[in-house]
Homo-oligomer: A and B are copies of this chain.
Amino acid sequence: MNTTEVARRCAEAMLAKDAASRALGIRIDIPEAGEAVAYMTVRGDMVNGFDVCHGGLLFTLADTAFAFACNAYDNLTFAAAANIEFIRPALLGDELRALAREDYRGSKRGLYTVELRNQREEVVALFHGRSASRGERLL
């Protein structure tokens, strides 16, 4: 298998067990190893007290893209930390897309950026995640 095929096999293995992402209707694309795109449509049960998508669910979408990007190498990796800047609200019905890419990958630590955009290509949030590897295989 080439690196993209390994990345996609890792994603399939993760998705099969990921009840949380499925419950939120999140779909995943793996363009290549180290990148992931996660999609989510803002539903009625995702809206908070200010009539906009709960910021935690925006984070969850970004965090999901991050998890699939950093688990592309058949090396079990988890999110160790993340920060997010909320730039503009996401509204009921918005179709969100989180694009994760790798900024740095060392033997244990990885650093990733996730851009979260709506269907009008406006930036909704900017996310930076740090991953840590366990040194175990994923597949």
A48 and B19 contacting across the interface, CB-CB below 8 Å: yes
Indicate which residue in B22, B51, B83, B84 contacts A17 across the interface (CB closer than 8 Å).
B51
A139 to chain B, nearest CB (A): 12
By a CB distance below 8 angstroms, the chain B residues around A87 are: 104, 106, 109
Residue from A14, A51, A84 whose CB has the most chain B CB atoms within 10 Å: A84
* Chain A facing B: main interface SS: mixed
A130 and B57 contacting across the interface, CB-CB below 8 Å: no
Chain A contact-residue range equals 35 or more
Residues of chain A touching chain B, judged by Cβ–Cβ distance below 8 Å, are 13-23, 44-51, 53-57, 59-64, 67, 76, 78-87, 103-104, 106, 109, 111, 113, 123, 126, 128, 130
A57 to chain B, nearest CB (A): 6
> CA of A79 to CA of B109 in the docked complex: distance in angstroms?
14
By a CB distance below 8 angstroms, the chain B residues around A59 are: 56, 59-60, 63, 82
By a CB distance below 8 angstroms, the chain B residues around A126 are: 103-104, 111
A88 to chain B, nearest CB (A): 9
A49 and B17 contacting across the interface, CB-CB below 8 Å: yes
Indicate which residue in B47, B67, B83 contacts A19 across the interface (CB closer than 8 Å).
B47
By a CB distance below 8 angstroms, the chain B residues around A85 are: 80-81, 104, 109, 111, 130
